[in-house]
Structure 1
Amino acid sequence: MERWVGRVALVTGASVGIGAAITRALVKHGMKVVGCARNVQQIESIRDELKAEKGQLIPIKCDLTKEEEILAMFKQIQKDLGGVDVCINNAGLSHCAPLLSGSTADWKNMLDVNVLGLCICTREAFQQMQKNKVDDGHIILINSMSGHRVIPNAAGHFYSATKFAVSGILEGIRNELQELNSHIRVTSVSPGLVATEFQQRMHKSPEIGKKICSHFKCLEAEDLADAVIYALSAPAHVQVHDILMRPTEQKS
């Protein structure tokens, strides 16, 4: 990770869970990390916690469902920090919205964050890297095992569809980078069940969320941060394309 010291990473959805864990890890490795989320106060708390570390955390308030806020964030990153070197598309969410009975508003929200927000951030990050002649940048997509298989649970089927889209987007990005003879790398990290607030938010119930995560030892947010560090640490000629990781006891 030495070559990333002092360089700039963007982490979306940095306020809690996997995003917060990735943010902490990158700051500890000496990176300047722009952490964005709608709840910027939580990121500010993480910044205060990390003041003694090698790197720096810069909180920015950004709603990924609003393109104008994303564009303004990238403009600020260019102005204040000289542009991004690493873009980590971590923000994602799920609603209980089955394909045959779900709410259109819930479907749209998942598409806006999980697919369109990810694509807009990726596009803007790449174009900023290209403008700044950064040819060793890295784009990371936090995907899901739900982007590789569909389980018989209607509550998560539309979410799974958005993550299958991310799997397709990953390969599309790789192909487009190859066509441009770019050395910017792209990696997807697809976890199974992770012990975060994700399940609680999806079911709008702390009790249900905790119950889902109580059947076996789930992945921890730090496990995902370790996977991101692994991908970033690979030699320049190695692209870690897709990391699939499950809890040892998870069957699906």
Structure 2
Amino acid sequence: MDTAGRVALVTGGSGGIGAAVVRRLAADGYSVGVHYARNRATADGVVADVAAEGGHALAVGGDVGDEPAMTAVFDAVETAFGGLDVVVNTAGIMLLAPIAELDLADLDRMHHTNIRGTFVVSQQAARRVRPGGAIINFSTTVRRTQYPGYGAYVASKAAVEGMTLILARELRGRDITVNAVAPGPTATALFLDGKDEATVARLAEAAPLGRLGQPDDIAETVAFLAGPGRWVNGQVVYANGGLA
């Protein structure tokens, strides 16, 4: 697919899977908005990496659940690069506890970022992405594996899947695909935080491929949906090494 002149915005693009997505899309020739919530220095580092490879990127900050802040983020990317073709919404938080024990303040935090944030970003994307573009949200393989302790997180991602699949139908006739990627266990700070070595090893062995996913594995799936995968629409794509 010819990506010359194409523009992407990656929320949560300053680290983990988001940073890998930024670098992969930039390698494909996209100009990329690198969104961050708090850590400008990390986002600037990703922008510098892209520039070092001859690409174009811009750091843009804001709370994904804040409509004025995200309007400004979308405005900044369009002003800098002349439009918008792909929005990848990797921003999310994961707070784990059994349902009976979860602090409801943690539930509210995940709702704000994972549900409201995805809705705000999807809404802006639906209004702005050009024909031939793509909107890619993020779910989780735990929606199927149903591990104890993930109830509130999975509930937030089930909501993401629901709004993603409906948006794909709402954009009929616009030539814009809308999909969600559902990673399995992936070696990021978000996944590794709070897990001991035995737990990490057990989860790595759960997939038939016998390892944790890497951010670059997920970025490859995103690059396919953003570019050549034009006939994949209204789907949840599981990128998990064969985990059930």
| TM-score, normalized by the shorter chain, greater than 0.5 | yes
Q: Is the 8 A contact 1:8 1:85 kept in 2?
A: yes
Shift of 1:239: 2.2
The 1:76/1:165 distance shift into structure 2, 3 A limit, reads same
Does residue 27 of structure 1 match 2:26?
A: yes
SS, match of residue 244 in structure 1: strand
Which consecutive residues of structure 2, in runs of 5 or more, have no partner in the other structure?
Answer: 205-210
Query: Alignment partner for residue 168 of structure 2, among 171, 174, 183?
Result: 174
RMSD (Å) for aligned C-alpha atoms: 1.9
Q: For 1:211 and 1:55, locate their aligned partners in 2 and report how far apart those are by CA, in whole Å.
A: 40
Q: For 1:231 and 1:127, locate their aligned partners in 2 and report how far apart those are by CA, in whole Å.
A: 19
Partner of 1:74: 74
Q: For 1:16 and 1:78, locate their aligned partners in 2 and report how far apart those are by CA, in whole Å.
A: 22
Partner of 1:49: 49
Q: Deviations over 1:130-184 (max 9, x none)?
A: xxxx221100012111234522x1x211001011111111211112112xx2211
Amino acid at match of 2:178: V
Q: Is the 8 A contact 2:10 2:35 kept in 1?
A: yes
Partner of 2:154: 160
Q: How does 1:192-207 map to 2 (within 5 A)?
A: 192-201=184-193, 203=194
Aligned residues: 235
Q: Deviations over 1:164-217 (max 9, x none)?
A: 111111211112112xx221111211111111111244x3xxxx2654322331
The 1:85/1:232 distance shift into structure 2, 3 A limit, reads same
Q: For 2:153 and 2:182, locate their aligned partners in 1 and report how far apart those are by CA, in whole Å.
A: 14
Amino acid at match of 2:96: C
The 1:9/1:210 distance shift into structure 2, 3 A limit, reads farther
Partner of 2:6: 7
Partner of 2:232: 239
Q: Is the 8 A contact 2:60 2:76 kept in 1?
A: no
Structure 1-normalised TM-score? 0.86
The 1:211/1:6 distance shift into structure 2, 3 A limit, reads farther
SS, match of residue 213 in structure 1: helix
The 1:123/1:142 distance shift into structure 2, 3 A limit, reads same
Amino acid at match of 2:164: L
Partner of 1:117: 117
Amino acid at match of 2:6: R
Q: Is the 8 A contact 1:30 1:53 kept in 2?
A: no
Which deviates more from structure 2 when the two are superposed, residues 217-226 or residues 98-107?
Answer: 98-107
Q: For 2:140 and 2:96, locate their aligned partners in 1 and report how far apart those are by CA, in whole Å.
A: 16
